[in-house]
Structure 1
Amino acid sequence: MTDNTLLAPETADATVRREDYAPPPFWIDDVALTFDLDPAKTRVLNRMRVRRNPAAPEQPLRLDGEDLNLARVLVNGQGASFKLEDGKLVLSNLPEGQEPFELEIFTTCQPDKNTLLSGLYTSQGTFFTQCEAEGFRRITYFLDRPDVMSVYTVTLRADKAAYPVLLSNGNLIEQGDLEDGRHYAKWHDPFRKPSYLFALVAGKLVARSQKIIARDGKEHLLQIYVRPGDLEKTEHALQSLIAAIAWDETRFGLHLDLERFMIVATSDFNMGAMENKGLNIFNTKFVLASQATATDQDFANVESVVGHEYFHNWTGNRITCRDWFQLSLKEGLTVFRDQEFSMDMAGSDSARAVKRIEDVRLLRTVQFAEDAGPMAHPVRPDSYKEINNFYTVTIYEKGAEVVRMMHTLVGEAGFRKGMDLYFERHDGQAVTCDDFAQAIADANPDSELARLLPQFKRWYSQAGTPRVQATGLYDETAQTWTLRLTQTIPPTPGQADKQPMVIPIKLGLLAPGGQALPLQLQGETEAAALERTLVLTQAEQTFTFVNLAQPPVPSLLRGFSAPVVLDQQLDGTALEVLLEHDSDPFNRWEASQQWAQRILLQTLQADTTDATPVPERFIAALRKVLQDPTLDAAFKNLVLTLPSESYLAEQLECVDPQRIHAIRQNLQAQLAQALQDIWQLIWQEHSDTGAYQPDAFSSGRRALAGKALAMLTLEATRTGDAIWPGKAYQRCKDASNMTDRFNALSALVQARHPLAEQALARFHQMFKGEALVLDKWFQLQATAPDLDGDILPKVRQLMQHPDFTLKNPNRARSLIFGYTNANPAAFHRTDGAGYQFWADQVMALDALNPQVAARLARALDAWRKLAEPYKAHAEAALQRVAAQDKLSKDVREIIEKALA
């Protein structure tokens, strides 16, 4: 008997809690999927071999499903009793015992109506899938959870003329023609995987292919599929993939395990890329790169993201997450791996340092703000309503820092031993963050990590950014220097009381003249080295160093050895010593940032609107950096980049975004004026970058040249001098690469020079057929400095542009997110119009694509810190969104947490 009872879907947004995890009541060992692809009505036949889980209590089989039309359910070839309840297909009266049974489900779906870009959808006539985190349930009914791992065989059938390329996971085992102009391809993935790693692509695509021989002598086919016309922009992605494969073999002994590895690019994608087993689907932004259309940063991002998704083949695919609370198990670890890959690819020590600084800037600007806001959550969250909202910088970037601390505590060789043990124990399993940490510790039983593991794992369970206060006391008589460290963690939503963390602090000590000093702790018989790592484990600890003839200048938290806020009151003399002499490039850069931040915050906290002159000593120190021939151009560029407005806002209790912008702009203008002669010299020495290469050295030279041109154009706009704006406009016209061209255009736009509009129009005319370049064009205008409130009207005007569409995530992010998330002074208007615009766009996007809408909703996470009248207007906009009846659970969770 078949029960086709249809019940209303669940209306409540139920909270999912980590403590409620239970193993699945059934296992699905094998899945055979057959797709008859049609944009309006795709037919999906799903044949599964299912068996009961003896470790789980007996219960009905409840399969997840969304927006599916159910046509047939068979068990062992016979009609089955089922019902649809709360969005699930519930089957009871199943065969008893442990023997597997065959379950067949036939459904249809409408890919061309799927604007969520989750599940199976079409984009410009091509079929794509996105199944992480819970998209597979939009393709067929299934146990859509990461701990159910199956072997997949997939048959794709489609019209051959419309869809000549048919791709899925694994190895191609059969293909051929069918009647009526149709054809088929059969794919088999021999490795068990969860449903979120399933993928298919079908359409008119072309491929760049290359065969490689791995270290074990096996041949593999690498392919990158794109739309016709984009093939010449795929060489860098292919070379990045080859480099990633070689690096993973060398660094971690991990090999490519399929006959082929494929990447497919699409412009309609919610994420950056997706690591589906053997068939990675990428946003075009992280695949397509050419000298004419991509900047140096684009080239670097392609290399990083290609590496990241490939590295997931082992850290995410071969070993996956038991549940979504363990998301950082794969993401934090793989971010660490892609950061290490990019640093190794950069080559020189200074280039590696630049990469590390860039990663820390992102962490401190975005993740620290998340830790301080209503969405603060541990690296391993305890609950969620919508898992898509937890693809956050805390999971990814802070998770990577937790892995990096393990690496610091056990060393490079020890970490490799730990990774080897992790794969030996858990290959083919769905596991937890605890399992990973345990493997690293067990492989290094004598390490600090093993000794402190229970306490160390608080990094997974406690939210918030620890604050470490450092004070030093020199005893001239005893010739000792005592370092006192204290740690505190502010309360976060749901976590009021915090316990001390394990915080590795890498440090060195410098003499007043800049020489590195031997480090000998009290009680030690001899100095250990010029650098060492202290481990802070208590709320307060002291460390006394001996045999110091003079008070030292401390260089603490070298390489940013822990994701903490370090409070130490170094005076200008000490900062100058560190900036000029520290052997640690990160702390050398950090000295410049701390000095600039101190100047800016003193001005912000002063009860005056007058511009504060920049100390001559600071100018002189920066001049030395710019003139130092031993320093990399990229490093100089970072030293001369001021702390961002968002980062400065995080240092304040009450935030006036327009005042922050004005004061930061004033300091920028003073640096442009005071160092004008040096900027001109730098331009002369670096503006001719020769034949284009996206390597770290060449990219650094272009970055510093771009900085010089921006500073010179800014000063010339102030004085009315036409020379440098003219040079910038000329470079917009005739630059040989996108980096130089876009730097010049940005210099004009950021200076708000009259030539900017003409340059923007010319730029659009040159690149109107290049979607990724137009994203830059939209974003540049959305992030321009605001003059009397003119940016919001400009953004509204650009939304009516023929090249703008809200349906494409990249385009929506470039313009709308550019304005709301990356232009604080323009967005935070005293009349509240920016917030009303934000509310309009959150609601409009929510009707199309809740994942993108939820990302936009987070622009007002920190509204409670705003000064009036911003705060009242922001709350009104949040309440307006909250009052909507038809909000997705994605957006509602964000808004409710912001207002809680």
Structure 2
Amino acid sequence: MFHNIDSKPIPSLLRNFSAPVKLEYLYTQEELYFLMVHDTDGFNRWNAGQSLASQVITSLQSGESDEIDKASAVISKAFKLILNDSLNKKEVDKAMLAHILELPTEGALIEQAELAVVDDIHIARESVANFLSTDLKADFAEVFNSNFSEGIFSIESEDMARRALKNISLNYLVRSGDSHWIEKCFHQFTQADNMTDQLAALRFLMIYSEKHCREEADQALHMFYDQWKHEPLVVDQWFVTQALYPGKESLERVKALCNHQAFDIKNPNKVRSLIGVFSSQNHVQFHQGGGEGYEFLADSIIQLDQINPQIAARMMTPLTRWKKFDHKRQALMQAQLQRIKETPNLSKDVFEVAEKSTVL
């Protein structure tokens, strides 16, 4: 029994608890905001931020205008205080703050949904991110500038944290479409003395190239490949960056890259970097309503099965999760699983996965 408490306590649950536990507790948005801003347990603070953002994105999907306005105001206020902490508190963990400022991935949001409507999830998440990038542009700009350094590259933890916070700020700033920040991003790409900054800038230019910076993105892609084409593991990241591109022509780009001189379907790293990333992380394009992404993955699996059955079997995971999606997509995914299963001379590895995943 507690006495002389003026307000209802907000529990910070499972503090310092590292085991993989899923605990359901119905926090309100105001309670999540409080934990995100004030909790002293780093993981709980991050988790509160993820939960709050998920609730806001769900509110957008529901389409209730009152809830949308309220939710947007709450998350904007929370993000603003996090950004202010990074500027005003000397002992702040900038690496943790950088993680807190990341919205939940589309993959995480799909996992949380009972029935995942991919297009709605993508649109809602993009709306929240766009709102934050516009509403807090001045704050993100101040954080970027305060963490920008022209000093010698260092792998000290403080410097790594500073780069993380700078780059998450740059992400939101490029998203805003402001030509000044697109230029800043391209400058970071060309002048970077470390892979963290160069690759981050490349990905921001690529992700937002459909709306804001196509010329800069295309130029950066060519420059990056020319610089690193003799480093196979770095070229893998070049493939990953393009596989994540959310624009409408993403699938055609991936298909074209399968014929690129640097791609080798016999190389598992290349397969995972291009085909694997597209099918498991580029949700809005892989789950196109016509099923083209499913067909592409099935074609790739059938081809790969003759070369490396183990990798082919692992690549089937996105299709095996068909129950998570709407009836139309379920039918399209089932059709490709059935086609794979009926392929002559199919390996045991792939057949077992297809057999367990088909309903016919």
Q: TM-score, normalised by structure 2?
A: 0.92
Partner of 2:304: 845
Q: 2:204 aligns with which of 732, 736, 747?
A: 747
Secondary structure in 1 matching 2:114? coil
Instruction: Name the structure 2 match of 1:659.
Output: 120
| Counterpart residue number, 2:49 | 592
Residue type of the partner of 1:823?
N
Contact 2:202 2:220 in 1 (8 A): yes
Q: Which residue of 1 aligns with 2:61?
A: 604
Paired with 2:114 and 2:48, the residues of 1 have a C-alpha distance of 23
Give me the whole-angstrom Cα distance separating, in 1, the residues matched to 2:46 and 2:64: 30
Query: Compared with structure 1, are the counterparts of its residues 710 and 853 closer, same or farther at alpha carbon in structure 2 (3 Å cutoff)?
Result: same
SS in 1 for 2:176: helix
Aligned to 1:621: 78
Aligned amino acid, residue 14 of structure 2: L
**Contact in 2 for aligned 1:749/1:780 (Cα 8 Å):** yes
Alpha-carbon distance between aligned partners in 2 of 1:560 and 1:837, rounded to the nearest angstrom = 42
| Contact 1:710–1:748 under 8 Å retained in 2 | no
Q: In the alignment, is the contact (CA less than 8 A) between 2:72 and 2:128 conserved in 1?
A: no
Between the aligned partners of 2:101 and 2:108, the Cα distance in structure 1 is: 16
Rounded to whole Å, the distance in 1 between the matches of 2:63 and 2:345 is 46
1:859 aligns with 2:315: no
- 1-structure distance, mates of 2:160, 2:358: 43
Q: 1:548 to 1:555 in 2, by over 3 A?
A: farther
1:396-421 alpha-carbon deviations (Å, 9 max, x no partner): xxxxxxxxxxxxxxxxxxxxxxxxxx
Matching residue of 2:179: 722
Residues 30 and 74 in structure 2, CA contact (< 8 A), matched pair in contact too: no
Give 2:130's aligned residue.
Answer: 669
Give the aligned partner of residue 549 of structure 1.
5
- Equivalent residue for 2:29? 572
Q: Give 3-state SS (helix, strand or coil) of 2:11's partner.
A: strand
Q: Relative contact order, CA 8 A, sep 6+: which one is greater?
A: 2
The answer for the alignment partner of 1:209 in structure 2 is: none
The answer for the alignment partner of 1:798 in structure 2 is 257
Contact 1:854 1:894 in 2 (8 A): yes
Output aligned runs, 1:184-195, within 5 Å.
Answer: none
Distance in 1, matches of 2:184 and 2:30, equals 39
Whether the aligned pair in 2 keeps the contact of 1:805 and 1:812 (CA below 8 Å) is yes
Unaligned runs of 5+ in 1: 1-479, 481-545
1:160-192 deviation digits (Å, cap 9, x = unpaired): xxxxxxxxxxxxxxxxxxxxxxxxxxxxxxxxx
Task: Encode CA deviations 1:617-672: one digit per residue, 9 max, x unaligned.
Answer: 32112111111124222111111111111111122222121221111111111111
Matches of 1:587 and 1:809, distance apart in 2? 37
Q: How big is each residue's C-alpha offset from its partner over 1:273-305, in whole Å with a ceiling of 9 and x where there is no partner?
A: xxxxxxxxxxxxxxxxxxxxxxxxxxxxxxxxx
TM alignment of 1:693-732, pairs within 5 A: 693-716=154-177, 721-732=178-189
- Aligned amino acid, residue 852 of structure 1: I
Q: Deviations over 1:840-891 (max 9, x none)?
A: 1111111111111111011122211211422211111111111123222221
Using the TM superposition, give the Cα deviation of residue 715 of structure 1 relative to its aligned residue in structure 2, in angstroms: 0.3
Q: For the structure 1 residues 548 and 890, does the alpha-carbon distance in structure 2 shift closer, same or farther, using more than 3 Å as the test? A: farther
CA pair 560-649 structure 1, distance change in 2 beyond 3 A: farther
Distance 2:288 2:318 in 1: 14
Counterpart selection for 1:827 from 286, 299, 305: 286
Q: Partner amino acid for 2:282? A: N
2:339 to 862, 880, 889: 880
In structure 1, what residue type is equivalent to 2:230? G
8 Å contact kept, 1:689–1:702: no
1:767 maps onto 2:224 in alignment: no
- Indicate the SS of the match to 2:193: coil
Q: Which has the larger radius of gyration?
A: 1
Compared with structure 1, are the counterparts of its residues 776 and 585 closer, same or farther at alpha carbon in structure 2 (3 Å cutoff)?
Answer: same
**8 A contact 1:689–1:698 mirrored in 2:** no
Aligned to 1:733: 190
Letter in 1 for 2:162: R
| Larger helix fraction of residues | 2
Q: Which residue does the alignment assign to 1:636?
A: 97
Aligned equivalents of 2:18, 2:171: Cα separation in 1: 33
Distance 1:548 1:557, change over 3 A: farther
Deviations along 1:289-330, whole A, 9 cap, x unmatched? xxxxxxxxxxxxxxxxxxxxxxxxxxxxxxxxxxxxxxxxxx
The corresponding residue for 2:139 is 678
Shift of the 839–749 alpha-carbon distance from structure 1 to 2, 3 Å rule, reads same
Q: What is the alpha-carbon distance in structure 2 between the residues aligned to residue 735 and residue 645 of structure 1? A: 29
For 2:241 and 2:67, the matched residues in 1 are separated by 27
Tell me, in whole angstroms, the C-alpha distance in 2 between the residues paired with 1:815 and 1:617: 37
How far residue 758 of structure 1 moved from its aligned partner, in angstroms, is 1.2
Distance 1:615 1:566, change over 3 A: same
**Superimposed CA distance per residue, residues 733-770 of structure 1 (whole angstroms, 9 cap, x where no aligned partner):** 12111111111111111112211111111111111111
**Greater alpha carbon shift after TM alignment, 815-824 vs 858-867:** 858-867
CA contact (8 A) 2:56 2:75 kept: no
Partners of 2:355 and 2:306 in 1: CA distance: 18
Tell me the secondary structure at the aligned position of residue 23 of structure 2.
strand
Identity of aligned residues (%): 35
Q: CA deviation at 1:611?
A: 11
Deviation, 1:603, is 2.1
User: For 1:607 and 1:589, how far apart are their aligned partners in 2?
Assistant: 27
Shift of 1:834: 0.5
Q: Quick one: distance in 2 between partners of 1:697 and 1:823?
A: 32
- Are the equivalent residues in 2 in contact too, given 1:611–1:666 (CA < 8 A)? no
Distance 2:35 2:68 in 1: 25
Q: Which amino acid aligns with 1:580?
A: V
How far does residue 561 in structure 1 lie from its aligned partner after superposition?
4.1
* Residues 640 and 850 (structure 1), Cα distance of their counterparts in 2 relative to 1, 3 Å cut: same
CA gap 1:677/1:607 in 2 versus in 1, 3 angstroms: closer
CA deviation digits over 1:673-717, x for unaligned, max 9? 11101111111111216322223322111111111111111102x
- Structure 1 residues 738 and 843: CA distance shift in structure 2, 3 A: same
Show structure 1 runs of 4+ deviating over 6 A: none
Cα contact 2:59–2:68 (8 A) shared by 1: no
1:785 matches 2:242: no
Query: Any idea what SS the aligned residue of 1:848 has?
Result: coil
What CA deviation, in whole Å up to 9, does each residue of 1:182-235 have, x standing for no partner? xxxxxxxxxxxxxxxxxxxxxxxxxxxxxxxxxxxxxxxxxxxxxxxxxxxxxx
Distance 1:675 1:812, change over 3 A: same
Amino acid paired to 1:847:
Q
Tell me the number of residue pairs that the alignment of Structure 1 and Structure 2 aligns.
349
Q: Following the alignment from structure 1 to structure 2, what is the Cα–Cα distance between the partners of residues 859 and 573?
A: 36
Give the partner amino acid of 2:285: A
Tell me what 1:416 maps to: none
CA distance in 2, matches of 1:777, 1:690: 27
**How far apart are the structure 2 equivalents of 1:574 and 1:587?**
12
Equivalent residue for 1:688, pick from 149, 152, 158: 149
Q: Is the 8 A contact 1:611 1:663 kept in 2?
A: no
Tell me which amino acid in the other structure corresponds to 1:864: K
Amino acid at match of 1:697: E
Q: Report the Cα distance in structure 2 between the residues aligned to 1:722 and 1:751, rounded to whole angstroms.
A: 12
Q: What amino acid sits opposite 2:5 in the alignment?
A: A
Shift of 1:612: 4.1
Distance in 1, matches of 2:19 and 2:224, equals 43
Q: Given residue 37 of structure 2, which amino acid in structure 1 is its aligned partner?
A: E
Conservation of the 8 A alpha-carbon contact between 2:29 and 2:55 = no
Q: CA deviation at 1:786?
A: 2.3
- Tell me the distance in 2 between the aligned counterparts of 1:601 and 1:880: 35
As a proportion of its length, which structure holds more strand? 1
TM-score between the two structures when normalised by the length of structure 1: 0.38
